[in-house]
Amino acid sequence: MSLASLERVELKYGEKVVLQNCSLQIAEGAITCLIGLSGAGKSTILRLLNGLRKPDAGRVIVRGIDLNTLHPRDLIEFRQRIGFAFQFAALFDSLTLFENVALPLREHTKMTSSEINKTVMDSLESVGLGNASDRMPAELSGGMLKRAGFARAIVTNPDLVLYDEPTTGLDPIITHVLTDTIKRLRKQLNGTAVVISHDLDSIFAMADYVAMLFEGAIIAYGTVEEIRESRNPIVQQFLQGSEVGPIPL
């Protein structure tokens, strides 16, 4: 069963076609990883899934609801069911880690201070940052910043969590830690995750399903094993990192 889907989506940035006839199913209760060339439009798919972008054509369905049909106020409310871990964490420099994670609860819920305190601390502890709640973003390492972004993304207990390149620029040890954290959070939330990453080892370690975006459309979709064994020459060239093949360089 799918929790979300893109149905024949088209989207342009000015004259540039980013997505064209793009369809994708996001399986409920699974981790789906998006792969593809840099600038292919993977991050755009995340922004479509949480309503930050609207398609020029086609439909984006989440929990059976076409996001295009929602009034802006209803979309803001609906978005609380979707967590977003931004590529660079996007924390407020002037707020402590606790205050950053608490922000969605203070802005969009009627929780009491004690309820917020417990929920925030539970989220921070779930990513191994329970002892860092009073620290400022500038005091955190790159890996800690990423995990702080994860904590904020899950603090509203969302149905769907979107991770935009969570391991970019990090060493192999921290990449392994973050990969395990994403897997554990999906299980803890009993939810669904979509992850964009260029780290194939990380993808193969966490993904239930992998989708490859190429020239505006999903050209391959399947389990890790199915993608690894794909006979599509574009997929194989990408996985092997080869200069030889149909992908234009």
Number of domains in the chain: 1
Asked whether residue 127 is assigned to any structural domain, the reply reads no
- pLDDT exceeds 90 at position 110: no
- pLDDT (tens digit per residue) in 3-55: 999 999 999 999 899 999 999 999 999 999 999 999 899 999 999 999 999 99
- Kindly state the average pLDDT of the residues 153-182: 91
**In whole angstroms, how far apart are CA 78 and each of 67, 106, 214, 217?**
9, 16, 30, 26
pLDDT band at 204 (very low <50, low <70, confident <90, very high): very high
- pLDDT exceeds 80 at position 138: yes
* Residues whose CB is less than 8 angstroms from the CB of residue 152 and which lie 6 or more positions away in sequence, other chains included: 83, 85, 91, 100, 101, 103, 104, 123
The DSSP 8-state label assigned to residue 119 in this structure reads H
- What pLDDT was estimated at residue 161? 95
- pLDDT exceeds 90 at position 109: no
* Residues whose CB is less than 8 angstroms from the CB of residue 118 and which lie 6 or more positions away in sequence, other chains included: none
- On whether the CB atoms of residues 202 and 179 are closer than 8 A, the answer is yes
Asked whether residue 132 is assigned to any structural domain, the reply reads no
Asked whether residue 104 is assigned to any structural domain, the reply reads no
In whole numbers, what is the pLDDT of the chain averaged over residues? 92
Asked whether residue 123 is assigned to any structural domain, the reply reads no
Asked whether residue 102 is assigned to any structural domain, the reply reads no
- What pLDDT was estimated at residue 34? 97
Asked whether residue 142 is assigned to any structural domain, the reply reads no
- What pLDDT was estimated at residue 39? 87
- What pLDDT was estimated at residue 86? 85
Asked whether residue 78 is assigned to any structural domain, the reply reads yes
57: phi then psi, degrees, rounded to nearest 5: -155, 160
- pLDDT (tens digit per residue) in 113-133: 999 999 999 999 999 999 999
- What pLDDT was estimated at residue 120? 95
- Domain span at residue 84 reads 2-90+160-240
Burial 98-131 (b: 16+ CB within 10 A, else e): bbbbbbbbeeeeeeeeeebeebbbebbebbebee
104: phi then psi, degrees, rounded to nearest 5: -60, -35
- What pLDDT was estimated at residue 111? 86
Distance CA 165, CA 168 (A): 6
- pLDDT exceeds 90 at position 90: no
Domain of 46, CATH number, reads 3.40.50.300
Please, where are the H alpha helices in 170-219?
172-189, 200-206
Provide the 3-class DSSP secondary structure of residue 107.
helix
Asked whether residue 214 is assigned to any structural domain, the reply reads yes
- On whether the CB atoms of residues 3 and 15 are closer than 8 A, the answer is no
* Cα-based angle 34, 38, 40 (whole degrees, multiple of 5): 65
Distance CA 171, CA 192 (A): 26
- pLDDT (tens digit per residue) in 144-162: 999 999 999 999 999 999 9
- What pLDDT was estimated at residue 50? 93
Could you tell me what percent of the chain has a pLDDT over 70?
Answer: 100
Q: What share of the chain is helix, strand, coil (3-state, %, to 5)?
A: 40, 25, 35
- Kindly state the average pLDDT of the residues 74-93: 86
- What pLDDT was estimated at residue 76? 87
pTM over 0.85: yes
